[in-house]
Amino acid sequence: MWSILAQKTSTVSEDPVTKANELWHTVKTFLATQGLQFAINVVVALAIFLVGKWIANILSRFCNRLMKQAKVDETLARFLSNIVYSILLVIVVLAALSELGINTTSLAAVLAAAGFAVGMAFQGTLSNFSSGVMLILFKPFRVGDYIEAAGTAGVVEEIQIFTTSMRTGDNIAIVVPNSHITSGNIRNFSIKENRRIDLVIGCGYDDDLKAVKSFLEEVVNGDERVLADPAPVIAVNELADSSVNFVVRPWVKNADYWATRWDLTERIKLGFDERGFTIPYPSRDVHLYNESAVSAES
């Protein structure tokens, strides 16, 4: 029908009345010769569209149910099921238009070109989407974890398809594109149950090393939050320029890390003061020469 109308429209005269009469004659001729078949095609196309839309809806729900059973994140499952539904619906529409006699080859080519152009325009967004899928599927961190990624650190508040929301220690909200997170290293401070505290404690060269070590062991072992397994490490690590440096490395529960670290540091400093141990400042010997005296001697 569409090709016949196009041919007739291109050959009619310029007179509007004549053009309208010839067009109406063409329509009547078409209805008389092919009207029944066209009506059947319309009914079939409508049936294809309605049934296809119903099937697409069922399949998208089925995919959503499968992803939920596989414990895929709800946001990701809903997003992917919507994509499945949209793709199936486009196929159904093309099939219905083809039943009406419309050439869908060129239309499919236009849709493909448009999809490619949109994909290039939203390249960064698609990169964030794929990164969000990876974060949700592989779960390098979860909501509530304290992480360091994309040049920032904070508590993860929400993992979305395109971005991840974090909260810093001073309660500042940060929204980070997912592609920035997956493109670098991710440090998750919360994923492990236990965490080691690393302290470097320096004492003077004139102090009794055995007494200092014994005091450090007393402080560490006296804190009930310090774990017995793995055992804490207290050892002389370095003979530095101004001090003898001990490493103090106890293990604690992740939740007790900062409180234990601060308490141990305070107790060690107070204990050094009580016992007379020194925490030396960096020092340097400066030698002064009298130029006139040196010249006279020479």
- Per-residue pLDDT band for 28 (boundaries 50, 70, 90) equals low
Mean pLDDT across the chain: 83
- For 77-116, what is each residue's pLDDT tens digit? 777 787 788 888 888 888 888 877 777 776 667 667 666 6
Q: Is the pLDDT of residue 228 over 90?
A: yes
- For 191-200, what is each residue's pLDDT tens digit? 999 999 999 9
Output the pTM of the full model: 0.62
CATH number for 138-188 (one of 3.40.50.300, 3.90.1150.10, 2.30.30.60, 3.30.450.20): it is 2.30.30.60
Highest mean pLDDT among 55-69, 126-140, 224-238: 224-238
Q: Where are the domains of the chain?
A: 21-102, 138-188, 194-275
Q: Is the pLDDT of residue 10 over 90?
A: no
Architecture of domain 21-102: Orthogonal Bundle (1.10)
pLDDT (average), residues 13-37: 65
Yes or no: domain 194-275 corresponds to CATH 3.30.70.100: yes
Q: 3-state SS of the chain?
A: CHHHHHHHHHHCCCCHHHHHHHHHHHHHHHHHHHHHHHHHHHHHHHHHHHHHHHHHHHHHHHHHHHHHHCCCCHHHHHHHHHHHHHHHHHHHHHHHHHHCCCCHHHHHHHHHHHHHHHHHHCHHHHHHHHHHHHHHHHCCCCCCCEEEECCEEEEEEEECCCEEEEECCCCCEEEEEHHHHHCCCCEECCCCCEEECCEEEEECCCCCHHHHHHHHHHHHHCCCCECCCCCCEEEEEEECCCCEEEEEECEEEHHHHHHHHHHHHHHHHHHHHHHCCCCCCCCCCCCCCCHHHHHHHC
- Per-residue pLDDT band for 120 (boundaries 50, 70, 90) equals low
